[in-house]
Amino acid sequence: MKYINLGRTGLSVSRICLGTMNFGAITPKEDSFSIMNRALELGINFFDTANVYGGKVGEGITEKLMGEWFEQDKERRDKIVLATKVYGNMGNWPNEKNLSAYHIKKACEDSLKRLKTDHIDLYQMHHVDRNTPWDEILQATEQLIREGKIIYVGSSNFAGWDIATACQEYSKRNMLGLVSEQSKYNLFNRKIEREVIPACEYYGVGIIPWSPLEGGMLGGVKKVNEGRRNASEVMNKYKKHNDQMDKWENYCAEIGEEPADVAHAWLIHQPAVTAPIIGPRTLEQLEKAMRVINLNLDKNQLDKLDEIFPTAGQAPQYYAW
């Protein structure tokens, strides 16, 4: 395994982040345990989850499952950089969602109970909340840091100006502020290159891409047809971009690599990226994903991928002279 600092911090995380969204919802508990066991053996020390994962509103099924896994061997917890999230709907009562100080405090304490741990290493805002003032959000996270309940703060699905605003507001409070941003990013969907990536690079915020295969589309047409939850949606998108996807798969065949491996490796080659999130449903998928750590793409190959999937272009240059 290779490691990299998370954004501008001194925290070392694996170049692959284990996503747990399938655990408890699609992947049974025992299989989830096997995947986490093997991930640790392979050197993956970065695990990402969220309080809303698991398929049932308010139950935090995935966090509970991970808590049970930690309880089996308490030494595991200190080997992992544990990331979870706050924002999503955790019930049908007022104040059980979004980023009010009230909800942040309660959501964090509930996550700690489910995860059976005394602290969260990376606490991420799952979405921006423009109905809550920044000083309220920052005060709530600052208090959690003081109490030792969280160490680092991250964002997810933020716009570039949200990241800049958050970093500036944290700076006014003499706080480290955002250290990571979790965004949808892959060869097919490169929109964050316009403003999110430049903002992250300027402020030293590490990018943790989710959906590195665009829901399976970049894994190859055969993979798209293998019973995915969103197979019809992905297949329709695949057909709409058939010429582009043919070029993609033909080029992967030309260089003798699996499409999924190339898609993951391309992300690791992007300078702003800390670690793409892989969300294996099976142990086999985890094992196959490990190959990308040592898959080096040369400049000609990277240029060819840019030709097939053109860059979104940094703002304002991409739309103005």
Q: What is the DSSP string of 145-189?
A: HHTTSEEEEEEES--HHHHHHHHHHHHHTT---EEEEE-B--SS-
Q: How far apart are CA 148 and CA 46, in angstroms?
A: 20
Q: How far apart are CA 245 and CA 83, in angstroms?
A: 33
Using alpha carbons, select from 214, 252, 260 the residue that is nearest to residue 235. Answer: 214
Angle formed by the axes of helices 196-203 and 160-172, nearest 10°: 20
Q: How far apart are CA 228 and CA 210, in angstroms?
A: 17
Is position 53 annotated as part of the catalytic site?
Answer: yes
Q: Active-site residue among 53, 87, 152, 238?
A: 53
Q: How far apart are CA 313 and CA 321, in angstroms?
A: 12
* Whether 85 contacts 125, CB under 8 Å: yes
- Amino acid letter, residue 64: K
CA 225, 262, 294 angle in degrees (round to 5)?
A: 130
Angle formed by the axes of helices 259-268 and 299-308, nearest 10°: 110
CA 201, 314, 3 angle in degrees (round to 5)?
A: 35
Q: How far apart are CA 82 and CA 269, in angstroms?
A: 24
What number of other Cβ atoms are within 10 A of residue 120's Cβ?
A: 23
Contacting residues for 229 by C-beta, under 8 A, at least 6 apart: 26
Contacting residues for 310 by C-beta, under 8 A, at least 6 apart: 190
Q: How far apart are CA 232 and CA 222, in angstroms?
A: 13
Bridge partners for 86 per DSSP: 125
**Where in the sequence numbering do the catalytic residues fall?**
53
